[in-house]
Amino acid sequence: MNNLEIKNINIGQIHGYERNARNHPESQIKQIRKSITEFGFNNPILIDEHGEIIAGHSRYIAAKQMGLSTVPTITLSHLNEKQKRAYRLADNKIAENGGWNLELLQLEIKDLEQICAGDLDIRITGFNDAELDQIINLGDTVPADPKANHIPFISEDKIVSVLGDIWQIGPHRIMCGNSLEESTFNQLMDGAVANTVLQDPPYNVKINGHVCGSGANSFGQHKGDLKLHPTVKPVEMLRDAILDCTPRGGIVLDSFLGSGSTLIAAQQAGRVCRGIELEPIYIDTTIRRFQELFGIDAIHVQSGQTYNQKLADKRGIK
């Protein structure tokens, strides 16, 4: 076995191989810069006795862009000219010939996403949003899951929510309020900025004639009619749109939340929902639907009580 020694040398002492056949798009170099910043320069550049790179061109480009004056290197003085040229290709190609155990990869990514939340961007692994979505949803049968589209029945005298309530449900936040008022958005978003808006405002609904020219909030005085018109959207349709239009962990805003289909879809897609709904009964419906599906308690932001505690109080159960 040859003895390998890692030496930190001046970046000016090394140079690329003229016929390096590997392409390094800017997006990859950016990933390497982030990786070096997060994890350190853990993979020395392999060079020959003249400072010519044998393996590590992309790390070299990233280091130059980062303005690093020295880089860790290993000099492979045991290779002859033919071996150097062949090894340049082998180092890249043999790595490419491996595959992934997709089930283990899914477990690892899901775990990492949870433990790194808010601390470390999962994309530091080099997987992009579309790849992560694909890995995480491997084998999920969401389009065929009838539970996701089930709407729980709420009796009118057991409605917990009132106008002005804000509920935190896992990473999501929903508010019972009027989306025609700016203050509702300010309270709900609390400084956060949405990545996308996905909403389904009331449209062309017959209420003793059609709503016409009187704004999206026309339902306010027509609660009886409104409850006959929930027009719940299929979760899988919203989920597909969310997957296509937002990054993982991105915020989806729906200011006409209805029975919470956007919230369910956002949870399934690994996104964060912020939702506004005027009718307390639909906020309750949304919370119960979400809790039944995911087993995560909704917390009333103003009081710190869970939805179930407030419901028990309402029912007179202590």
Nearer to ligand SAM, 58 or 261 (CB): 261
Please tell me whether residue 180 binds ligand SAM under the rule CB under 6 A. yes
Binding marks (x or -) toward ligand SAM, 253..282, rule CB under 6 A? --xx-xx-x--------------xxxx--x
Binding part of the chain for ligand SAM, among 73-81, 117-125, 227-235, 298-306 by CB under 6 A, reads: 227-235
Per-residue mark of binding to ligand SAM, 136-175 (x: CB under 6 A): ----------------------------------------
Among 22, 34, 110, 233, binds ligand SAM (CB under 6 A): 233
> What is the number of the residue whose Cβ is closest to ligand SAM?
258
232 binds ligand SAM (CB under 6 A): yes
Least Cβ distance, residue 240 to ligand SAM (angstroms): 14
Asked if 216 touches ligand SAM (CB under 6 A), the answer is: yes
Of residues 113 and 277, the one with the C-beta less far from ligand SAM: 277
> Which is closer to ligand SAM, CB of 92 or CB of 217?
217
Told to check if 219 binds ligand SAM by CB under 6 A, we report yes
**225 binds ligand SAM per the rule CB under 6 A:** no
Assess 202 for contact with ligand SAM (CB under 6 A). yes
Ramachandran angles phi, psi of 242, nearest 5°: -65, -45
Residues in contact with ligand SAM by the rule CB under 6 A = 178-180, 200-202, 216-217, 219, 226, 231-233, 255-256, 258-259, 261, 276-279, 282
